[in-house]
Amino acid sequence: MPTEISDGDREGGFVLEEHLREYLANNLHVLEDGMTLWPVGQDQNAVEFPVGGNRRIDILARDRSGVPTVIELKVSRGHEKTIGQVLYYRARVKDLFKAESARIVIVAREISRELRAATSELQDVSLFEYRLSMNLNRV
């Protein structure tokens, strides 16, 4: 019989944001069917995509319709100030790729009430909380 180890209420999330970023970059389908990394040139990467200065989008993806999607990751809690960051990234993506629209996805261990309120009237913003678990099977 499998034994499940769950992260519980306050622990068990990714320790480093790079681990969460790597997992999602390789498994974008868990966010949405048909989502893929944004196609970039040889000198660029869709993971930690540079948007000017020292700013980088955690993951730049595209949905199944080809719409650019900014994915911002917070290994623990997503606060309301996150929305300013991703709105800037969305504006840069629209400008860089001459896109009419771009989506925003925020993934965090916990989404604060303030961030929920700050995004409630924005279109094309999706919030996700993640939870880790592991199954062990005796052999």
Q: Tens of pLDDT along 12-27?
A: 555 567 888 998 999 9
**What pLDDT score does 3 carry?**
36
**What pLDDT score does 132 carry?**
77
The amino acid at 81: K
Cα 52 from chain centroid (whole Å): 19
Range of the domain at 34: 3-136
**What pLDDT score does 46 carry?**
95
Structure tokens at 51: 């948007």
Total number of domains in the chain: 1
**What pLDDT score does 75 carry?**
74
Q: 11 vs 28, 44, 112, 116, CA distance in Å?
A: 23, 34, 16, 22
**What pLDDT score does 13 carry?**
57
Low-confidence ranges of the chain (pLDDT < 50): 1-10
Task: Give phi and psi for 117, each to the nearest 5.
Answer: -65, -45
Q: What is the pLDDT of residues 70-87, one digit of tens each?
A: 999 987 776 778 999 999
CATH number (domain holding residue 38): 3.40.1350.10
CB 63 within 8 A of CB 34: yes
